[in-house]
Amino acid sequence: MQRGEANQTKLQSLRYPVACPRISRRTQSPVMHRWTGVFVPKGSFLFAAACCTLLACGAPKNGLVSFSGSAMGTVWTVQITDLRRDLSHGALERRIIATLDEVDQAMSTYKEDSEVMKFNRQISTDWFPISPPVAAVLREALVISQLSNGAFDITVSPLVNLWGFGPTGARTQRPPTAEIRSARAQTGYENLEVRLSPPAMRKKVAKLSIDLSAIAKGYAVDRISALLDENGSKNYLVEIGGELRAMGNNPQDEPWRIGVERPDADSPQIEQILPLRNLGMATSGDYRNFFEEDGKRYSHTIDPNTGEPVTHSLASVSVLADSVMRADGLATALLVLGPRAGAELAEREEIAALFIERKADTYKLTMSSTLQQYLGDAD
Ligand code: ADP
Ligand code: MG
């Protein structure tokens, strides 16, 4: 992780925040709450209506220009405090939307004609031509799979569907063990190959299928950020469904402060505020998208080793990194690995990670050494 200008930032307490949460469209997937200067990922649905007037699309407010909308099964916001005066807001908004559409059209498992879904339907082990973005995301996904020893695995798609967290529809009961076993037999990132030029991917097992949901939003944040960089902006915040990049300062000319939410959808509140400057952050949690049976929680994060949703006490992981795509994938990987193996990987690979564990009546927060160091530098 590069710290950039992070040492100029200050971790500040939350002062009279103006709550402006926003909602996620995809059932219970992560949500980002927007506050004045403090952003709270993974928030509640309750205050959305009251808040959406605060930052009307494209309306400048103290030099702030903001856009928002829905894409990739969730909601997004872009806030820029230093947009060039000669730039048309409408034109920029159209470019943002076109970029999001492009990523969605390539990577969605909810669009039958996306590149990913076409590849999933192909029962062949031949090379399958893909766009450079899909190749880039696939390559990163495979790196994270290797790094996490398969905890992160985009070929978990049949298991995601079987457990009711994919496009084939939700469920409220544990699937039969035999079905879990046979779905698991169709997975394995080692059976997937990618090449960059010409961009293509290939399955070594004809029935293999992929799901980029755990990494595509991070990639899209990186793409929108690149667009804003090209336009000369240095102070902005881009956020898609809880994954974000914060550059420069917020509208109060202070470092962006990101509130990490308590992993409890019923009583959302800020558990930790992190200052973020010129850095990305992604959070994965087990508390938005899950079902319960016999008092047991089954969340959308699947352990590829068991073929089942993770069962340990780790409820949420936030990762800070330059690349939001990497942060997104790593947050999922660490959540799968759990409190102990996840913390070990974060130490070994110097990942800036915040772990929130669910204990009887409370929550335990642990920061990796790299995150502690980052916050120390920011002080
Ligand atoms: P969110 O999309 O809510 O931000 P994640 O980034 O953790 O959360 O992505 C979760 C999604 O990733 C799941 O809904 C599923 O589609 C997919 N997924 C589940 N388990 C894994 C895994 N072990 N590796 C890669 N992708 C996974
Ligand atoms: Mg992720």
pTM of structure: 0.87
Residues, CB-to-ion distance under 5 Å, ligand 2? 214, 284, 328, 331-332
Rounded Cα–Cα distance for residues 82 and 154 (Å): 37
C-alpha 372 – ligand 2 centre gap (Å): 22
Domain 3-378 has CATH 3.30.565.10: no
Q: What is the residue with the minimal CA distance to atom 10 of ligand 1?
A: 214
pLDDT averaged per 10 residues in sequence order, the chain, 379 residues: 27 23 29 38 28 36 87 96 93 98 97 97 97 98 98 98 95 97 98 97 96 98 98 97 97 94 90 96 94 94 97 96 98 98 98 96 96 90
Host H or E run for residue 162: helix 157-162
Identity at 78, one-letter amino acid code: V
List beta partners, residue 343. none
Question: Is residue 210 within 8 Å of 119, Cβ to Cβ?
Answer: yes
β pairing state of 296-299 and 236-240: unpaired
Tokens found for residue 186: 């169709």
Question: Domain segments of the chain: what residues?
Answer: 3-378
- Ligand 1 binding pocket (C-beta < 6 A) is 29-30, 152-154, 156, 160, 165, 211, 213-214, 241-242, 284, 289, 300-302, 304, 328, 332, 336
**∠ Cα 366 369 372 (to 5°):** 75
